[in-house]
Amino acid sequence: MTAAPPPYTPAELMAAVAARELRDGEVVFVGIGLPNLACNLARATHAPNLVLIYESGAVGAVPERLPVSIGDPSLVTGSLMVCGMADVFQCLLQNGRIQVGFLGGAQIDRYGNINTTVVGPYRHPEVRLPGSGGAAEIAIHARRTVVISRLSRRAFPETVDFITSPGHRSHGHTRGELGMPGAGPVKVVTDKAVLEADPESGELVLAALYPGVPADEVRAGIGWPLRQRPALADVAPPTGQELHLLRNVLDPDRLYLKG
């Protein structure tokens, strides 16, 4: 008789699912928050040779405390290399050496386009968001991207107000037509399900439901008629080891694992 899996929060499952997407030895652009936890969880489990690169210039960072920004001084101490930002964007990213980039944002649409610029019109926004940062070029150049975002109709509209980071189809054009080197968002890890891009249409479709979550609950958080794969994949709950690492080692103060 197997024991029931330990209870977990949506954030913990999101971190675990994102971590499982990473393969050992890959070169990953890391952000802050859940992507950071996912990368460090992967390093501590199945991907010990993952190379973490921060767009601030820290390569192979092994921070001794949870960084609160991508420019945290703990990313420098003990890292493999610290280079200027010109080298990060030209010699690493545009050079094609970043295999995975993590993205998130205020709005993600049907084709995986992400908006971190404005809600409302650009010149007179209702809400002025921070802007691209490195997200535009990461969306274009990373060999593939993984998006992490909680579901809501506001966060998943049919069409974003502004395309900061292009997904699979932007203003009717595919990535291939536009000459983008990277494959784009291959997985959208939400708090209830995993979405993946349909290879034909480029639209995000339901690929896997989290344990105990009905498909209707997912549809309620998506602003377009969500299609689904004929056979949905299973998502295993976080293992005891994954939870121990997340709760006791990586984010004991629950800075990013809230909820």
Partner 1 sequence: MRAAVAAHVHDGDTVVIEGFTHLICFAAGHEIIRQRRRDLTLCRLTPDLIYDQMIAAGCAKKLVFSWAGNPGAGSLHAFRRAVEGKGGGPLELEEYSHFGMVGRLSAGAARLPFWPMRNYMGTDLPAANPRIAQIDCPYTGERLATVPALNPDVTIVHAQRADAQGNTQIWGLLGVQKEAAFASRRVIVVVEELVDERVIRADPNRTLIPGIAVDAVVVEPWGAHPSYAQGYYDRDNEFYVKWENISRDPAALARYLEEFVYGVADRAGYVARCGGLEGLRAQSRVCAGVNYGY
* Enzyme catalytic residues: 55
91 binds partner 1 (CB under 8 A): no
Q: Which of 40, 56, 145, 149 binds partner 1 (CB under 8 A)?
A: 56
126 binds partner 1 (CB under 8 A): yes
72 binds partner 1 (CB under 8 A): yes
171 binds partner 1 (CB under 8 A): yes
Q: Which of 45, 132, 152, 159 binds partner 1 (CB under 8 A)?
A: 132
69 binds partner 1 (CB under 8 A): yes
C-beta of 12 vs 55, nearer to partner 1: 55
52 binds partner 1 (CB under 8 A): no
107 binds partner 1 (CB under 8 A): no
Q: What is the rounded distance in angstroms from the CA atom of residue 254 to the CA atom of residue 65? A: 13
In the chain, the N- to C-terminal Cα span, in Å, equals 30
- Residue 26: closest CA among 41, 48, 58: 48
Collapsed DSSP state (helix, strand, coil) of residue 176: helix
122 binds partner 1 (CB under 8 A): yes
Pick the stretch among 16-24, 123-131, 145-153, 239-247 that binds partner 1 (CB under 8 A): 123-131
Q: Which of 6, 45, 89, 186 binds partner 1 (CB under 8 A)?
A: 89
Burial class (CB in 10 A: 0-12, 13-18, 19+), 198: middle
CA 110 to chain centre: 16
Q: Which residues contact 49 (CB under 8 A, 6 or more apart)?
A: 24, 25
Q: Which of 14, 18, 22, 32 binds partner 1 (CB under 8 A)?
A: 32
5 binds partner 1 (CB under 8 A): no
| Dihedral over Cα of 180, 166, 88, 149: its sign | negative
Burial class (CB in 10 A: 0-12, 13-18, 19+), 246: buried
Amino acid identity of 12?
E
259 binds partner 1 (CB under 8 A): no
| Dihedral over Cα of 178, 19, 104, 82: its sign | negative
Q: What is the rounded distance in angstroms from the CA atom of residue 55 to the CA atom of residue 132? A: 13
134 binds partner 1 (CB under 8 A): yes
Six-digit token string for 31 = 């952000």
163 binds partner 1 (CB under 8 A): yes
Q: Which helix (H) or strand (E) holds 71?
A: none
Q: Which of 27, 136, 215, 232 binds partner 1 (CB under 8 A)?
A: 136
**Residues binding partner 1: what is the number (CB under 8 A)?**
57
The binding site for partner 1 (CB under 8 A) comprises 32-33, 55-58, 68-73, 75-78, 82-86, 89-90, 93-94, 113, 117, 122, 124-137, 140-141, 162-166, 170-171, 173, 175, 178-181
